[in-house]
Amino acid sequence: METVAAIKSIFFFVLAGLCEIGGGYLVWLWLREGKPLSYGLAGSVVLVFYGIVPTLQPAHFGRVYAAYGGVFIVLSILWGWKVDGIAPDRFDLIGGLIALVGVAVIMYWPRG
């Protein structure tokens, strides 16, 4: 995969992850934290957008969603750290690194 295509792919993974986690978080705040219905509605809209973003990836559905799982792991750790104030420990970081290696192999390893 060429460098520009890989950068676009990574961008779409991050965008999808932020949409899924952010949308889910807004719904969580509405249902679990008693925030107004507008939080739930906004979260629902963001989650629909999350469903669209992965279609912009160059690979097939199964590969994209398999690799996205690793991206989701890392973004969830970062979200917990930056939004909820829960710092990752070394095992979170090691697990996140392993997940990213898996993403790289699934999505970007040269195939012959």
Domain carrying residue 26? 3-108
pTM over 0.75, yes/no: yes
* Span 52-69, pLDDT tens digits: 999 999 888 999 999 999
HEC profile of the chain: CCHHHHHHHHHHHHHHHHHHHHHHHHHHHHHHHCCCHHHHHHHHHHHHHHHHHHHHCCCCHHHHHHHHHHHHHHHHHHHHHHCCCCCCCHHHHHHHHHHHHHHHHHHHCCCC
Report the number of distinct structural domains present in the chain.
1
* Span 72-105, pLDDT tens digits: 999 999 999 999 999 999 999 999 999 999 999 9
